Structure 1
Amino acid sequence: MNGWLLTAGIIAAATTLIHATVGGQSVVRPLLGSKMTAEPKRTLHVVWHMVTADLLISSIALLALAFTTQPSTPLVVFIAAQYLAYALVFLIVTLTADWPRPLLQLPQWMLLLPVAVLTLLSTM
């Protein structure tokens, strides 16, 4: 068993659960209730569900890889890169917004970055 991947998979699964429940209430419901025109609203709704599917599939993959005797390094690096990219996007958007305490306004990076780091550590 690979403890780095197991820990990354657990955090990724928790992130998926938080995304689907808390995010669904705080982001998707207001989006769907907004006066935005139908096409961008539905496009953003689809993107939300694409991210949900991606988070779910990658967390399942991390958990499965944790119990594999020789995890596929390209797959592990791909998942790490994916979570690192997500974390960086959140950090860039957050830090370029004119908000007080910006790092706490969109805290998703705090869950995404550890998954990337732990997943990369599993390859060393």
Structure 2
Amino acid sequence: MNGWFLAAGLTSAGVAAVHARAGGRDVVRPLLAGDLPDEPRRVLHSVWHMVTADLVLAAAALIGLALYHHPGANMVAWLLAAHFTAYAAVFLWISLAAGWTRPWLRLPQWLLLLPVGALAAVGAL
């Protein structure tokens, strides 16, 4: 068993839970109640649920990699590490581009996403 992949998978599952619960309350509800035209609002709502599915499936993949040795497991782990690192980088970039004070704390999602990428990468070494 690969403990790094297991830690990454469990962390991803936790991120998915936070995303669904807190994000649903703090992001999706205000989005749906906002003044955006119906089509872009529904597209953003769909994208929200796509990210939820993405986080859950990534968690399942990482836990599967932890529990069972598969040919190509390291390739999948490196792709998932890049995936989560890219997600974290996007949140940091958007925060920094906004010109906020203490931007790294205004959109703290990167703090949840980056550890998954790091754990998956260490497990793939």
TM-score of the two chains, using structure 2 as the length reference? 0.95
Offset, 1:100? 1.8
Offset, 1:69? 2.9
Offset, 1:22? 0.2
Describe the superposition over 1:96-116 as per-residue Cα deviations: whole angstroms up to 9, x where unpaired.
Answer: 112121111100000111110
Alignment of 1:5-84 (within 5 A): 5-70=5-70, 72-84=73-85
Structure with the higher fraction of residues in helix conformation: 2
Identity within the alignment, %: 49
Measured in 2, the distance between the counterparts of 1:74 and 1:8 equals 15
Corresponding residue number in structure 2 for 1:4: 4
Describe the superposition over 1:13-71 as per-residue Cα deviations: whole angstroms up to 9, x where unpaired.
Answer: 00000000000000000000001100110010000000000000001111111111346
What SS class does the counterpart of residue 122 from structure 1 fall into? helix
Offset, 1:123? 1.2
| Code of the aligned partner of 1:113 | L
- Which ranges of 4 or more aligned residues in structure 1 deviate by more than 2 Å? none
Measured in 2, the distance between the counterparts of 1:70 and 1:123 equals 12
1:112 corresponds to 2:122: no
Corresponding residue number in structure 2 for 1:103: 104
Measured in 2, the distance between the counterparts of 1:66 and 1:73 equals 11
Offset, 1:10? 1.1
Unaligned residue ranges in structure 2 (runs of 5+) = none
Measured in 2, the distance between the counterparts of 1:88 and 1:75 equals 20
Alpha-carbon RMSD: 1.0
TM-score of the two chains, using structure 1 as the length reference? 0.96
